[in-house]
Amino acid sequence: MRVDHLLAQIESGIKKQKFGKEPRSLYEPLRYIMALGGKRLRPLLTLLSYSLYKRDARSIVPIATAVEVFHNFTLLHDDIMDNAPIRRGNPTVHEKWDVNTAILSGDVMQIKVYSLLLGIERSKLKEVLTAFNQCATEVCEGQQWDMEFENKSNVTEAEYLDMIRLKTAALLGFSLELGAMLAGASHNDQKALREVGIHIGIGFQLKDDLLDVYADKKKFGKQVGGDIIANKKTFLLINALSKAEGNDKRELTHWLKMKTFDKKRKIEAVTGIYDSLGIRPMTEKKINHYFKKGYAHLERIRGVNKKELIEFIEGIRNREA
């Protein structure tokens, strides 16, 4: 089944959802963020995983939709915490409405996730909810670590990689595991697919870090250089701080300490330091490392046609936005 057909099913499934009517100020932000589009990466992974074993992927679209609703719930609250102005090229919910409305709309999105998951057949429901609750907890743990890193001067590469494993990769791992669970795959295949998702998820976030600095702003959908402006401790900044010496170190420290600055100049200056230190190829090497580990786990799964899933993962790896 082609990915574009699966994506069309997901979009149709999202449009069919009745998220609620009144008060409009509660439900309109929910519909707004869900309608902004995005890659629909997580529900697509669920459907592709399911399709390794069964051909009726349409039957689990509402469950896959739950994964996307949860993802958007995390984005809605994440944007508040980061004070982000733009999401997918549009104003974030807290900018378009206000912070309190965004918090409450996010809360009702989380409740909707469980309503959708209740559509799972009874024999599999407990297992899926247990895995989802573990995943959701890890996402929150990762977000808390991310916030704590803002006030920590010496974040290590290992600490950062563990944080993104929780905050980003855990949900990709669950998405693939969920498809296998719903399809009745073996326990070993379920766990192998979860590991695939975790490793490509780390690679995915590292690519996101890279694109935040080097993407074409017309394609990216977010503010290019936003991480630099915010002094966000990404893989790139952590390694730049570790490698920088002399003038590079002094200039990088100068920009990190400045409270008032010209955003464009800061982005250009810090990007220049990254270039001089070879941070871009270092990041690309780490991205490839994690995708390679993901493929190693995928090789553990035998007797299924993995072509479409592999092609989709390659698209994630080579994306430009």
The pLDDT-based confidence of 300 (bands split at 50, 70, 90) is very high
pLDDT tens, residue by residue, 47-93: 999 999 999 999 999 999 999 999 999 999 999 998 888 888 899 99
Within 8 A by CB and 6+ apart from 84, the residues are 78, 92, 222, 223, 226
- Domain-wise residue ranges, the chain: 3-317
pLDDT of residue 217: 73
Q: How many other CB atoms are found less than 10 A from the CB of residue 211?
A: 18
For 238-280, write each residue's pLDDT tens digit. 999 999 999 999 999 999 999 999 999 999 999 999 999 999 9
CB proximity list for 91: less than 8 A, separation 6 or greater: 85
Instruction: Report the residue count for the chain.
Output: 321
The answer on pLDDT for 108 being more than 60 is yes
pLDDT of the residue at 221: 57
In angstroms, the CA 289 to CA 283 distance is 10
- List pLDDT tens digits, range 23-54: 999 999 999 999 998 889 999 999 999 999 99
Mean pLDDT value across the chain: 94
CATH architecture of 3-317: Orthogonal Bundle (1.10)
Each residue of 123-143: pLDDT tens digit?
Answer: 999 999 999 999 999 999 999
177-207 burial, b at 16+ Cβ within 10 Å, e below that, comes to bbbbbbbebeeebbbbbbbbbbbbbbbbbbb
Taking the whole predicted model, whether its pTM rises above 0.85 is answered as yes
